[in-house]
Each structure stands twice: as C-alpha cells, then as structure tokens.
Amino acid sequence: MGAAIACVAMALGGGDPAAAAATRVRFRIQPQPYPEALLDLAQQANVTLIGAAACPGVSRSPVAGAMTVEEALSRLLAGAACDWRMVAAGAVEISPARQAEAPRPPPPGPPAVVGELLVTATKRVRDSRELAVGITAIHRQRLRETGASDPSDAAAQMAGVLTTNLGPGRNKLLLRGLADGVFTGRARSTVATYLDDLPVNYNAPDPNLRLVDVERVEVARGPQGALYGAGAMSGVYRIVTRKPDLGQWSAEARVTGATTTGGGPSGAVEAYVNVPLAGDRAGLRLSAYNEVQGGYLDDIVQNRSNVDRTERQGGRLTVLAQPRDALSITVTGAAQRLRSEDTHYTIRGIGRKRAVLIPEPHENDIELVTGTARYSWGGAELTSSTGFVRHSYGSLFDATPVLETYTDNAETLAYSERTRTRMLVQDIVLTSRGASKLKWLAGLYASEARLRSPSELLAQNPDQPNVPVYSERRRETIRELAGYAEISYEPAPGWMLALGGRLYDIERRIRSDVVAERFDPRSQDSRNHYTGISPKISLQRRFDNGDLVYAVMSEGFRPGGVNTGGAQPPPEARETFSSDRLRNYELGLKLERFDHRLSLSSALYYDVWKGIQTDQFQESGIPYTTNAGDAHVLGLEAEVAFRTDNGFLAQLNGRVSRTRTTKANLEFTPVLAKSLPGAPPISGGALISYERLVFGDWTMRLVGQAIYVGLSRVSFDARLPRTGGFTQTRVLGEISRDGRGAQVFVTNPLDSFRDTFSFGNPFTAPQARQITPQRPATVGMTLFAAF
C-alpha cells in the first residue's frame, strides 16, 4: 500500500494532461435531424447531452472517423442554428444560436445536474428528462466527486433508493418503498440489477459491485416488467461501464487510506488502463481493485477485536471492436471476490461490541462474461447481448438456540447456507432510429438459471467440529422465454402515446433431498409453469420550453414456487407460494428553469400489490417463502437540483409514502403489520457542492451529503421490532488539476451510534434486540492521477 501511495504521489507532478483530455472517438453519424444526430454523437462518445431539442433543422453531411468530441461537434453543427459548449468534462450543452457570435467552446463551467444524462435503461438512448418514467442517472464525474463506490454511497443522490444494512454482499436494494421485506431468501429480487446489458442477480443479495471505472449508474423506478420481466418488480438498477477509447492510450490510479474511531484501518487501490488496438478499429480497457474495510466491532465472548473486517477484490476487461462504421462488438469479462470475517450486528445496550458464540462469516463471489453486438442501418438498430453469470454466496450463523431440536451431542450449533447460481441470458432487440413520429422496438429474451442451494446445521464439539445433523440439497432450474415490444406515436406536436408489453413463459423445477439426525429423510421433485403478459401504457406532453408531464400505467410480476426446507415437511399452508403482481399508476413532472440552473423531477404514484411474496423464517430458523397479503401504496417522490455559474450546486431528493396492507394470509392474520416492512414513510437525501479555481489553475471542491431513512418495520410480523430512523453524513474536500489531486473525507463526523438495521441472525433474534450501529467516525484520504 505504501509503495502504491508513493507512486501516485510522484505522478501528481508529471505527465501530459492535454493528451489525457483530448480523447478521440471513432464517430459514425449519418445525415438526419440535428436532435437525432446529437443523440448519436452523445451515445458514441459516452457524454452527457443537455438541450438537444434546441437545435432545429437537418444535418447535410455525415461525420465519420476518429476525432475528439469538440471536433465532431464543430463538424456536425457547422452552419446549424445552435451553439454548443462543454459545461464540464464529458457534458455538452446545446443552446439556440446567439446573434453575431460564432459557436465556440468556453472554459469548463459547473457540472451537469441530476437528470441531465443520456440513459439506456429503457433500451433506447434518450435524455432522461424526455422519458415517461421516474429515472435518475449519476455520471462518473459525480460518483468520483462524492467518493461513491457502492449503491449505499450513491443513495443520497437518488430519490427512493434504499439499501438494508446486514453487511457488504448481504444487503438488499429497495426502490420506492416497494419492499417485500428485508430478508433475502427464495423469492426473486424486486430490483433487477444489471451490469451493462446483463442481469447479475436472481434471488441473491446485491453483489455489491464496486463502482470502479463506470460511465454512470442508472435507476429506473417503478415496475419495468414490460421491458425487463420478472426481476423488475420495483425497478432497475443498472451499472454502465466505460468502454475502450479507440483513439489513444490512457490510464488512472487511485489509492485510499482511512482510519476509523475504535476500529481497524481501511484502504483501497484501484486503477484502469486503456489501450487502442489495430489503429482506431479496436481497443481494450482493463480495470482492477483491491479493498479492505476495517472492522469496528469487538466480540467479548470470543475475545476478538474488529471482527467485522471485509475484503473485496475484482477486475474487469472489456474489448471493443468496430470492424465497420455501422458495426460494433463488445466483449466484457468481470469478477469480484468478497469476504466478510463476521456479521455487523450486535445487541442493544452493549455498544459497539458483540457476544456471539461462533464467528459468522459471509462470502459473495461473482464472475461473468458478456458479448454485445450492435449493427445500425437506415432507420433501425439491432442489438444482441449474450451473457453468462456465475454467482456464489454463503453465510454461517450461530444456531445454538435451536440445538436441542436437532441433537443432544454438541456444545454449539452452526447453520451454513450457500447458493451457487449459473445463469445464461440471451436478449435481442431491434429499435427504430430517426425523427419519425412513429418509434418502435421489439425484442426476444431467453434465460436459464440453475441454482444449487445446500444448507446444513453443523453440531460443534472440541473433538468433533462441524458434524451435520440436518442438511438439505436443493436444486432449482428456471427457464424463461419472452417476447416484448413497445410502439410510440406522436399524434400532435409535443404529445407522445406509447404502448408496450411483455409476453412470458416461465418453467420452474425444484428438487430437494432432506436428511436429519432425528427425523425421517424425504425427497421432493416439483414443476411449475407460468405464462402471462405484463403491459405498459404511457401518455406524455412535452412543452416548447422543455417541460414534460406524463401519465403511465405499468406492471411487475414474479412467478411462484415451492418450499422444501426444514427437518419436517412444511405444513400445507407453507408448501407453496403463489405468483405476485404489482400494478403502478403514475403521474410525473419534469421541468427546468433559469437557463437550466434549476431542474425538478417528481412523480406521484399509486400501486396495488397482489399476493406479496416475502421471505420469512420458521420457528427453527430455517427460511421459507410465503404470500403475506395485498398492499396499496400511495407515494410522492421528487428530485430538485440548483446550480450557479460560480460553481455552487445543491441537490435535494425525497420520498413520502403511505402503505396499507389488506387481505392477510391466514398465517399473518393476527399479526400482519399495517405497512410494508423496510418501507419508511419518509426518506430523503441532500448534496451540496462548491468548486472554484485556486492557486492559478487548481480546482478546489467541497462536498457535503446526507441521507435520512425513517422508521419502518423489519418484517410483516408486527411483533418484530422497527428499524431505521437515522441520518448518515459525509463531507469531502478535493484539490485537483488535470486529473490529478487528492481528496480528504470524513464519514459519520459526529460519530452517531443510531441503529441502521434491526436484524442480524434469525436463530438468536428472539433472545435479544439486534441492532446494526453506524460505522464510527472515519477519516480518510484518496490520491489519484490520470495519465
């Protein structure tokens, strides 16, 4: 670590910053209306585009070849009735032409604000402000400026985005308060997590991919079943990686060190290198990272300090080839390994200490490879994505409280659960191009997921450790075929009507073998088949000043399944769980004022959720899935951003909602909570940033951010405790020049101890109130250098 810091520090004073800034891209833009041509330019260069609609007319000449973004803009807009300027690195603003003044790029100004990004979460390249969906996109520059490396770090900048806090690699993403509970089990995730065009989770906890060398993070809120299927009940979380630059070599390194009050040291090293190949026709991009999160909990029973230490290593290799101007082929391989030495919860009243009989480690490993080919011609573009994911994760829990149920010959009992998922995905989509009043897309999707989920209860003695007294070998295969389409039509200037839907066929097979010391063995082989359609309809009105009002109805769904675990067969009411479906009705508003300085995006939504699937625990601690009942959700979310020309930026976001459960399952009839678990009625975030030039051409930046999570229940069972009611804060200062500099940051500067998650271990939870305190005050520094 020390050598790496020294290398980066030496690099701060050398290199050629001009070369790093002049990234060359191979463009291929055909003559077409200027707004569509600008969208193509922004997509190919991976830059933010603001105000494309301000450029009327049609381009007359193609733009082709390797050049900088500035050169491409100058060629494309030569003679056009509009101007352009780079408002920040990777952000272009288009505005009506000024009289007697030729278009020219002024010095970089303040950064772009929330919502001013082109996104592809709707399987088209569009400005998020023009879409009839609640969507937030965070550009890589904003991620770097705020030090965000995880979904929980970026949550302060996105309305309605929350994560549980069981620990790294164990957390669950939640959107809009549409939560089926805070536990992770057999039920499919309500949020579809994507790396580029590949889904990376099925029913697993969030893999906690570190946000290294990414282009942006996109979150589309509300059911996205029409385009993404069963895993998008409450929305889509998508990480878009940076692609190779075919024009020139570049690299960057970042080194972080941090110290935590009463805890162990933390550190991270990350870097990427970009290498052009075969002239300007191919290139590769390699990134890698190694991170240690120091522990801060001491176990007073095991006499161990800082037991909750976590290590995370990973890397990604992307190869991009453009053999023809209209054809691009991208192949990406990525892997991450995560190890937590112990869990992050404790019990109320003993401070940041633990009292657990055995360690409770966790692991979460993911490997994937994906290939995407895009071919454009005339008025259409074809995209084919093929991917394979291998995701393995597992945990160990102290299960001693249920020892007598399974054996008499042990001092302690441990519960081991592991899951190995293999998922093969093929997605082909054909989309229209151009400025026609009629736009469309059509796609075919196929996937096969194979899950192997062995679980064991291990009796532990000094002379005979880890003797199985209960085990289940569960194997599951899920095959899905789907066809989806969307068509939109502009019946009058500014109006857009869109209809879409997804026709799906899902087959599920579950096999299980259970063996227990005190109970009879049993086997099970079950099949389920589900077909249906998930529709979507939207109507939007875009005004001449750029304001957008929209109404949308969309649906999400998840297939049912079978419960198999437990030493004894589950009771009839728990043998199976049925499908659930969520219908969303939404009204949205997006607007800008004061020459793009103020932006607002808001949505009022009403959701009806039928037959909510939820993961619960038996009295013995073994997990199972059931249907809790129905729910009605009324919510309002909003994101507001304001910036000034002198470098000040303020972003606020918030969500308020009212949830009511009805038609309780017989199992929950006497205890069903009135609201959804993990869905606080109020949550919100704030970010304030200020930057200015100092010492000549150095940039100083100060950032403060906070997120508030209100109180909610930890389960549908009203007898279990509430969780939440806390604020997390972070302040950061940076000084940089030409991509090189240093950041100093402080998280939890007031050293708050508030409980962030009232759960940790299903076996010991009935014995004492479990809490997860915030990480103590942490101070750190990051050195970075781009070449």
DSSP per residue, 660-685: EEES--GGGTTTB-SS-TT--SEEEE
Mean pLDDT of 37-41: 82
pLDDT at 47 over 90: no
CATH of the domain at 700: 2.40.170.20
Does one domain contain both 105 and 248? no
Number of structural domains the chain divides into: 2
The helix/strand/coil state of 192 is: strand
The SS3 of residue 557 is strand
- Distance between CA 478 and CA 551 in Å, rounded? 34
Residue 767: count of CB within 10 angstroms of its CB: 11
Is 165 contained in some domain? no
What pLDDT does 88 receive? Answer: 60
Does some domain include residue 289? yes
Cβ atoms of residues 620 and 405 within 8 Å: yes
Q: Is 159 inside a domain boundary?
A: no
Please identify which residue in the block is written with the tokens 């030090």. Answer: 147
Q: What is the DSSP letter of 758?
A: S
Q: Is 320 part of any domain?
A: yes
Q: What is the pLDDT of residues 195-217, one digit of tens each?
A: 999 999 888 888 999 999 999 99
Q: Which residues contact 619 (CB under 8 A, 6 or more apart)?
A: none
CA 488 to chain centre: 28
- pLDDT at res. 87: 65
Mean pLDDT, rounded, for 219-248 = 91
Question: For residue range 750-764, what is the model confidence (pLDDT) as tens digits?
Answer: 999 999 999 999 999
* The domain boundary residue, chosen from 86, 109, 132: 109
pLDDT category of residue 467 using cuts at 50, 70 and 90 = very high
| 722 token code pair | 């509430």
Reference 39, options 161, 131, 113; nearest CA is 131
Residue 333 structure tokens: 């391989």
- Residue 12: pLDDT band with limits 50, 70, 90: very low
Identify whether residues 353 and 209 lie together within a single domain: yes
Residue 95, in any domain of the structure:
yes
- pLDDT given at position 121: 65
Domain boundary among 49, 75, 109: 109
**Which string of DSSP letters, residue by residue, matches 29-51?**
E-S-BHHHHHHHHHHHHT-EEE-
Q: Residue 127 and residue 50: Cα distance in Å, rounded?
A: 8
pLDDT of residue 132: 84
Stronger pLDDT, 33 or 606, i.e. the higher one: 606
Claim to verify: residue 98 and residue 239 sit in the same structural domain: no
Q: 750, 702 in Cβ contact below 8 A?
A: no
Report CA-CA distances (Å) from 269 to 168, 253, 272, 402.
Answer: 18, 8, 11, 43
Contact predicate 229/502, CB 8 Å: yes
Q: Is residue 209 located within the same domain as residue 105?
A: no
- In the predicted model, what is the mean pLDDT of residues 716-721? 85
* Residue 635: alpha-carbon gap to chain centroid: 21
d(CA 159, CA 114): 11
Residue 32 lies in a domain: yes
- Where helices occur in 344-490 by DSSP H, the ranges are 403-406
334-370: per-residue pLDDT in tens?
A: 999 999 999 999 999 899 999 999 999 999 999 999 9
| Residues sharing a CB contact under 8 Å with residue 658, sequence separation 6 or more, in sequence order | 633, 634, 635, 681
Structural domain containing residue 11: 1-109
List phi, psi (to 5°) of 276: -70, 150
Whether residue 467 is contained in a domain is answered as no
- Containing 687, the helix (H) or strand (E) segment is strand 682-694
Question: Taking the mean position of all CA atoms in its chain, how far away is CA 139?
Answer: 13
- DSSP output for 582-644: EEEEEEEEEEEETTTTEEEEEEEEEEEEES-EEEEE-TTS-EEEEE--EEEEEEEEEEEEEE-
Question: Do 238 and 387 have their domain in common?
Answer: yes
**At residue 533, does pLDDT exceed 70?**
yes
* Residue closest to 121 by CA, chosen among 72, 194, 63: 194
Backbone angles phi, psi at 511, to 5 degrees: -125, 140
Domain assignment of residue 383, yes or no = yes
% helix, strand, coil for the chain, step of 5: 10, 55, 35
In this prediction, residues 732-759 reach a mean pLDDT of 95
Residue with tokens 């009771």: 571
Angle at 433 between CA 429 and CA 436, to 5 degrees: 130
- HSE at residue 349, side-chain half, CA atoms within 13 A, is 4
Residues 751 and 649 occupy one common structural domain: yes
**How far is residue 176's CA from residue 606's CA, in Å, rounded to a whole number?**
11
8 A C-beta contact, residue 700 and residue 694: yes
Looking at the chain, the whole-number percentage of residues with pLDDT higher than 90 is 62
Q: What average pLDDT does range 625-651 have in this prediction?
A: 94
* CATH number assigned to the domain comprising residue 50: 3.55.50.30
DSSP class of residue 22?
-
CA distance 611 to 407: 37
Of the pLDDT bands very low, low, confident and very high (cuts 50, 70, 90), residue 112 is very low
Residue of 586, 689, 610 lying closest to 643 (CA atoms): 689
End residue of a domain, out of 89, 109, 129: 109
Average pLDDT, the chain: 88
> At 703, phi and psi to the nearest 5?
-135, 135
DSSP state of 58: B
Say if residue 241 is exposed, middle or buried (CB neighbours under 10 Å; 0-12, 13-18, 19+): buried
Cα–Cα dist 116/188, whole Å: 32
